[in-house]
Amino acid sequence: MNIPVLTDILSANNLIAEQNRKLLDDHRIYMVNLLSSPGAGKTTFIEETIKRLDLAISVIEGDVASDVDAVRIKKLGIPVVQINTGGSCHLNAPMIQKALENLPLHKTDLIFIENVGNLICPAGYKLGENISLVMNSTTEGDDKILKYPGIFRVATSLIINKIDLLPYLDYSLEKINENFLKLNPQARIFPLSSKTGEGFDEWIKWIRTGVDNFCNKL
């Protein structure tokens, strides 16, 4: 019987995700789980957010192999932990639990998790985050929401990256907005360019408000 086994794995994961959440609440830390396909621009987006956001930020990098993204984040003087999943195509709550042991929690306001580039299974694994963001870049085409609805349905917000390339691509912002809001009517959409900085003011204002509201509620 495969189904009960799968259920057990997911409920064990959710239990540890709740422990992660409790630990972060105790330290008043807001955590964001960033999801996208490979090459959407997650690392550059995190770098540009770090430069603009006046908060103590730490980063957890998830990749199948290598530490290239963690090295980039470290150059900004930000505490970072690299998780190599060794083949697994998503992060799970035990991996995050381990990573949190290696971050300066007493000196952190906000943690970004850069999940493994994959639009399918990361959506099924809670990590203890406050919100999940899904990113779609203009170079990926505007049909991803129709092809991978699950991940777009669980997201709190959609980041549309690389809008500086819109003049060169057949990518319809209208189509993306419409398809996303059909799945997820409460969610926000932030079209932006991590290269030119266009659209970042709105995003920074929104995430800053999210962190402040979270801290006020605790």
Binding site for Zn ion (CB under 5 A): 89-90, 121
- Taking CB under 5 A as the criterion, the residue among 42, 90, 126, 162 binding Mg ion is 42
Tell me: does residue 47 bind Mg ion (CB under 5 A).
Answer: no
The residue sitting closest to Mg ion, measured at its beta carbon, is 43
Tell me: does residue 69 bind Mg ion (CB under 5 A).
Answer: yes
50 vs 89 by CB, closer to Zn ion: 89
34 vs 158 by CB, closer to Mg ion: 34
89 touches, from Zn ion, Mg ion, none (C-beta below 5 to 8 Å by class): Zn ion
Token pair of 63 as six digits:
């990749």
Tell me: does residue 43 bind Mg ion (CB under 5 A).
Answer: yes
Task: Please list the residues that pair with 132 across neighbouring strands.
Answer: 33
Tell me: does residue 118 bind Mg ion (CB under 5 A).
Answer: no
Token pair of 170 as six digits:
């057949």
Q: Could you tell me the smallest distance in angstroms from the CB atom of residue 92 to Zn ion?
A: 9
Q: Which of these ranges, 65-73, 144-152, 159-167, 203-211, lies near Mg ion under the rule CB under 5 A?
A: 65-73
Which parts of this chain interact with Mg ion (CB under 5 A)?
42-43, 69
